[in-house]
Amino acid sequence: MAVTSEVVHCYSELAMRVSLMAELARGKEWGRLPELEAQCAALVERLKVLQPLEVLDPAQYDEMRRLIARICVDQEEVSGLVKPQIEELIARMGSLHQQQTLGKAYGRPH
C-alpha cells in the first residue's frame, strides 16, 4: 500500500474545490465562490511550504500532474464564466458613477 503524500492530498483538495467552483459558476451561483477561493489560496500557501520538503515517488508525481492538469482546466472554465460577470459589474458601476456625477452637477430630477 502506497504512503499518502500530503502534497498529493493538498492537490486533490485543491482540485475538488476548483471543480466545485466551476460547477457553481456554471449554475451562476456566485455567492460561494469567494469562500472557495479563500480555501484554494490557503491550500496553495500550504503547498508552497510542503513541496520543497517532500519527495514524491513516480506514482505520486503522476497523480500530482494529473490533478494539476484538472485544476488548470477547471480554473480556466471558472475564469471564462466569471470574467464576463466582473466586466458587467464594472460597467454598471461606471454607469452609476456617471449618474452620480451628473446628479451632483445638474441636480436630481424631480
Domain ranges of the chain: 6-106
25-82 confidence digits (pLDDT tens): 999 999 999 999 999 999 999 999 998 888 999 999 999 999 999 999 999 999 999 8
Greater model confidence, 1 or 8 = 8
**φ/ψ (deg, to 5) at 12:** -65, -45
Amino acid identity, residue 14? L
The cell numbers describing 31, all together, are 455567492
Question: Helix (H, G, I), strand (E, B), or coil: what is residue 76?
Answer: helix
**Whole-structure pTM value:** 0.76
Cβ contacts of residue 7 below 8 Å, gap of 6+?
47, 50, 51, 54, 56, 60, 64
Q: What is the pLDDT of residue 104?
A: 78
- Terminal Cα distance for the chain, rounded: 76
- CATH class as words, domain 6-106: mainly alpha
DSSP symbol at 2:
P
Mean pLDDT of the chain: 88
